Amino acid sequence: MKARASKPIRLSRQEKELIDRAAAASKNAHAPYSRFKVGAALQVESGQVFVGCNVENASYGATVCAERNAVAQAVVNGHKKFKRIAIMTATSPPAPPCGLCRQVLVEFCDELPILLANPRGEVVRAKLSKLIPQPFCGKSL
Ligand code: THU
């Protein structure tokens, strides 16, 4: 039986633009080992957008994910309050962030809207609080 396409969701102009930024970032991914390109676009409270792509390494453990690179870009530019993040992968359905990236995002916000997207135009809405319930965070220390 053919899988039923999920209902298309309505996106604001800002959301569409954020997804486009994530798509553009994914094109710069350095992923010669996995061939799995990821792009992330993180919008901060001021409206500015910081992007990241995955940067792999021959020493595989030195790889950094797209989301964590976007967070680093925001933080190094003085932004720690995030509004939303878009993540672009080529899979269907679009892939959610890995556990490490969830942990890094939750350091800055427990409630972050996430847009998971792929080049086919499929978009899934997610929430950080659902992806990482009961996080280990500053309050846990
Ligand atoms: N990757 C990301 O960039 N973000 C994630 O949340 C999941 C995984 C990257 C790491 C590696 O370069 C490739 O995808 C395959 O795991």
| pLDDT tens digits, one per residue of 94-125 | 999 999 999 999 999 989 999 999 999 999 99
Owning domain of residue 30: 13-134
* Percent of the chain surpassing pLDDT 90: 93
In a domain, residue 74? The reply is yes
In a domain, residue 100? The reply is yes
Strand ordering across the sheet containing 49-53: 49-53, 39-44, 82-88, 113-117, 123-127
Query: Domain tally for the chain?
Result: 1
pTM as predicted: 0.96
In a domain, residue 82? The reply is yes
What does the alpha-carbon distance between residue 81 and residue 29 come to, in Å, rounded to a whole number? Answer: 25
CA of 38 to the centre of ligand 1 (A): 6
In a domain, residue 2? The reply is no
In a domain, residue 8? The reply is no
CA of 134 to the centre of ligand 1 (A): 23
What does the alpha-carbon distance between residue 132 and residue 140 come to, in Å, rounded to a whole number? Answer: 14
pLDDT at 93 over 80: yes
In a domain, residue 140? The reply is no
**Enzyme catalytic residues:** 67
Nearest to 25 by CA among 66, 84, 79: 66
Band of residue 6 on the pLDDT scale cut at 50, 70, 90: low
Q: What is the mean pLDDT of residues 76-92?
A: 98
What CATH number does residue 54 fall under?
A: 3.40.140.10
Mutate to test the pocket of ligand 1, among 30, 34, 59, 85 (most ligand atoms within 8 A of CB): 34
Q: Compute the half-sphere exposure of residue 93: CA atoms within 13 Å on the CB side of its CA.
A: 14
In a domain, residue 6? The reply is no
pLDDT at 3 over 60: no
What does the alpha-carbon distance between residue 126 and residue 141 come to, in Å, rounded to a whole number? Answer: 27
Q: How many residues does the chain have?
A: 141
pLDDT one-digit tens code per residue, 22-73: 999 999 999 999 999 999 999 999 999 999 999 999 999 999 999 999 999 9
In a domain, residue 5? The reply is no
